[in-house]
Chains A and B, each alone.
Chain A
């Protein structure tokens, strides 16, 4: 951090945003074409992803160079803090939509379907016991239990939060080895989590007859855990980037917000999992 910088850093014109826009246009248009089987959907879709990756590398690369080049003063640092906080809040609200849906389904609408006129006239015999694949479900399925892999995964994520904090302490106290090892452990734990999650999905499809299409249980289960898994993946990628930056000698005890932001994000993903574990797997 450079306290002599009292002028707020305003970046030069940049070509990256427009690449980002083109990327999302290709991504969206490609997905639409793919889903509706018109035109070269997958090609456009993956082209969009490629452009997006190029953009992210270029843009973040530039930010890293500016940061390490000492262009960001205290106020820019404060801006980053505010923005990361509110960004995470927006992610919380995204998950809230799905948790809210699960709550509504479990507490209100499924019991409605299984009672009164709904049961008598439309869905005779539907009991509405959770988990359910809905009143017309023809096949049975086994719900995902909480105390096998999911419990283990809870432990893994909690541990990873601790190792990350340990790494952070290393960074603050200038112990680069502790930082490196802590980060590495966190990444490995994250990957283990993801590995288990993937295994669990295979297990669900192969042995439990539990699919995305398994009525409302399958829908909420896979969408919630899937979006969470996606966020773990993003977090793991961020951690990996941090690891390479540490290897490159970046960050100082008093100037490492990128690291902290990643840590915030990781803890957020952790908390989402805890709620998930309780309301999706356990209760």
Chain B
């Protein structure tokens, strides 16, 4: 994506050039680009770990990796994908799009914005580097439950510090986004005219500010339990291992909405454009998003139904969790109603958006099934849960990211994405995704636990299918790389300012590619 740099001579970035330009930049577009590239690299890294996991699970028995290394792969796959790939990718989108969409000249704190990004590589170094230290990376799962995480070697400490650093980055990034949206809108851009992508990000940013510090607290307690003799998670000293789970999931459940709300925002931009019809129920979309965010704080213990909570706790958390289906349903219905009696065309962004609604909703339904506490007793910590969260995070967050990338690629590079390859990417991904993850539901129901390098014989067939699918899905992502590289190198059809026929919003009023500086004079929105 290097060619995103607009090199029209009248609009060159000032300040240092070469590598130093990228290290010192305060430009939201540069920083957005760096976020996107970083997150794609992390996606490949996490994907390679996933492929190693799938390779080991191709057939019963131990073939490819040793059990302890398998656990490290699983743990780091989860951490890298969540914190390294999906979250930074959305922040990259926010950086590029929010100032453009609200008519601001840049982010509110441009220097701090740079720091938010440049904190990520150190965190990645600590996280990925932990594979290479004595004892290897942490093998306690991405959830890092004690006492297992207390037993781990120094890789665990590296993960803890990586999480601290990523937390600092996320909090600063979130504050920046909140302030930008609240304070930098162009005249006339009232809150209820705010594009939905900005709305969902605003609410996501609040979630981040509220829960990242809680995660920091949780891993700090782990650190002191490991090295300084505290007893937070040790019953012999009066603590409780389950305390960690409460603190972690108080962060963890809002976190999964951090991973999906911006995706909802992207979809809400794409659908009206290609349905050539305004978004149905704008206001209810906003309220639904806010309700999801509020509810997300009172459902955390649905990850802990098997810990043996008192019955009142189980009931409360079950009911609260089920409620989330209502606002999420509102969103799904609104999207469908937007498509209804539209005049639709299916360029790549719209394909991804339609695919998203379809497959994400399947993940939502399996989530609801997990929320039914008695059923969850059977499927907790099985592949059913793995299927659920890949449906919402891969077919949800990741598909939305792809859709958004195709949608705004013209604005970033000045070139339309290659439709032929884009469609190929979509169909290959859609098919291989389902081949990979649909069978996992059956595995989970039939009793295959998660986080195991080996399994009983009756699970062999579906695992083999899933592994084949996973390699197909991985290969499909190389097609995406091809689309991006093509556009970034300036190949393909040049894009107009309004790259898509019915695209609406301030970002489509500036040239494609967007010049280095935009909206230095604020536009007026009527």
Contact = CB atoms under 8 A, between A and B. Distances in A.
Interface stretch (A96-104, A244-252, A256-264): A96-104
B37 interface: no
Contact of B105 (A7, A13, A22, A98): A7
A13 B25 contact: yes
Contacts of B24: 13-15, 17-18
Interface in A209-240: 211-213, 215-220, 222-223
B157 A105 contact: no
Interface string A85-116: 01101110110111011001100011011000
A10 B239 contact: no
B183 A78 contact: yes
Interface residues of A, number: 67
Contact of B106 (A8, A17, A78): A8
Contacts, number: 222
Given A24-B122, A82-B183, A89-B209, A13 B21 contact: yes
Contacts of B182: 82
B111 interface: yes
Contacts of B137: none
Interface in A187-229: 211-213, 215-220, 222-223
B122 A104 contact: no
Main secondary structure of the interface of A (DSSP, over half): helix
Interface stretch (A133-141, A164-172, A272-280): A133-141
A8 B518 CA distance: 12
Contact of B238 (A20, A212, A215): A215
B164 to A, nearest CB: 7
A31 to B, nearest CB: 6
A75 interface: yes
Nearest to A126: B238
A233 B357 CA distance: 51
B217 A91 contact: no
A223 B224 contact: yes
B240 A105 contact: yes
A12 interface: yes
Contact of B183 (A17, A29, A79): A79
Contact of A32 (B108, B157, B174, B238): B157
A64 interface: no
Contacts of B210: 89-90, 93
A50 interface: no
A35 B106 contact: no
Given A10-B105, A219-B231, A101 B247 contact: yes
Nearest to A134: B238
Interface range on chain B: under 10, 10 to 19, 20 to 34, or 35 or more? 35 or more
Contacts of B214: 93-94, 96-97
Contact of B232 (A27, A94, A216): A216
B229 to A, nearest CB: 4
B227 A87 contact: no
A11 B111 contact: yes
A72 B457 CA distance: 68
A17 B111 contact: yes
Contact of B213 (A21, A93, A122, A219): A93
Contact of A87 (B165, B175, B243): B175
Contact of A217 (B21, B121, B126, B238): B238
Contacts of B158: 28-29, 32
Given A24-B165, A223-B220, 17 more contacts: A12-B14, A16-B111, A17-B115, A18-B114, A21-B121, A24-B122, A25-B165, A28-B162, A29-B126, A83-B176, A89-B210, A96-B214, A97-B247, A105-B243, A133-B231, A213-B230, A218-B231
Interface of B: 14-16, 21, 23-26, 104-106, 108-112, 114-115, 118-119, 121-122, 125-126, 134, 153-154, 157-158, 161-162, 164-165, 168, 171, 174-176, 178-179, 182-184, 209-214, 216-218, 220-221, 224, 226-232, 234-240, 242-243, 246-247, 250, 520
Interface of A: 7-8, 10-18, 20-22, 24-25, 27-29, 31-32, 35-36, 38, 59, 75, 78-79, 82-83, 86-87, 89-91, 93-94, 96-98, 100-101, 104-105, 109-110, 112-113, 122-123, 132-137, 211-213, 215-220, 222-223
